[in-house]
């Protein structure tokens, strides 16, 4: 069916961790597996949420810093340990946030194209979303390595690529971190912050154009942004 002319966006993009899925339990398990392999103390699941947003390598670096040194050699040795554990357990315990699938249904009924832009490796993002049965919902899934090293969020490159892969048009982006807001702003599109995500500060302080507390609010919030 043709896109509803009353809806202001052709494309809606989403961050993944802390926005689409609550991946905190899986991420904590894999981070702690890596830390414990060298005798470091584990980090509580709640504490891991604040480390997420710039990819697993960054998460590992911050995790190491909580209990001592985080030298490049240590990071280089432990990152494959973390990734192997994470890849082996993808999708076992990472539910979608309440109301997400209903919100996506409503958007797709209006022929809005959905996409994912995450700083997680593209291969992991594709596999995870496939394992939880959501991959087919998205026109494209763009990872932190898709645009080349150093070109993930908060740079606008992956947002521009998302729009191009979706055929162009007006777009908005949904996320839970300052990097999501900065990437959206740099790309010249509006952003919506989710107050239930992996926040390092209150969602109202991220500078997004709007904040939602539940996915039941998403469609109306996007309409109001017009």
Picking from 158, 171, 92, the residue whose alpha carbon sits closest to that of residue 120 is: 158
What are the beta bridge partners of residue 194? 212
Rounded distance between C-alpha atoms, residue 19 and residue 130, angstroms: 16
Among candidate residues 10, 15, 22, 176, the one labeled active-site is: 15
Is 15 catalytic? The answer is yes
166: tokens are: 């979706």
Name the nearest CA neighbour of 120 among 83, 85, 88. 83
Query: Are the C-beta atoms of 191 and 172 separated by less than 8 Å?
Result: yes
| Residue appearing with tokens 């049965």 | 133
List, in sequence order, every residue forming a beta bridge with 172; answer none if it has no partner: 12
Q: Which residues are catalytically annotated?
A: 15
């Amino acid at each position: 069916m043709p896109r509803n002319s009353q809806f202001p966006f052709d494309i809606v993009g989403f961050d993944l961790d802390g926005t689409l899925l609550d991946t905190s339990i899986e991420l904590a398990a894999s981070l702690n597996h890596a830390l414990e392999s060298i005798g470091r103390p584990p980090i509580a699941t709640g504490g891991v949420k604040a480390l997420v947003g710039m990819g697993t390598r960054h998460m590992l670096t911050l995790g190491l810093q909580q209990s001592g040194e985080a030298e490049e050699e240590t990071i280089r040795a432990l990152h494959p340990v973390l990734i192997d554990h994470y890849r082996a357990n993808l999708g076992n315990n990472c539910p979608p946030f309440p109301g997400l699938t209903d919100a996506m249904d409503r958007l797709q009924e209006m022929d809005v194209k959905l996409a994912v832009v995450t700083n997680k490796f593209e291969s992991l993002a594709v596999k995870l979303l496939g394992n939880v049965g959501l991959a087919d919902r998205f026109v494209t899934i763009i990872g932190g390595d898709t645009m080349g090293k150093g070109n993930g969020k908060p740079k606008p490159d992956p947002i521009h690529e998302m729009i191009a892969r979706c055929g162009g048009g007006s777009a908005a982006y949904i996320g839970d971190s300052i990097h999501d807001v900065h990437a959206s702003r740099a790309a010249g599109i509006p952003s919506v912050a989710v107050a239930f995500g992996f926040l390092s500060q209150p969602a109202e302080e991220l500078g997004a154009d709007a904040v939602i507390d539940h996915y039941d609010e998403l469609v109306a919030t996007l309409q109001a942004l017009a």
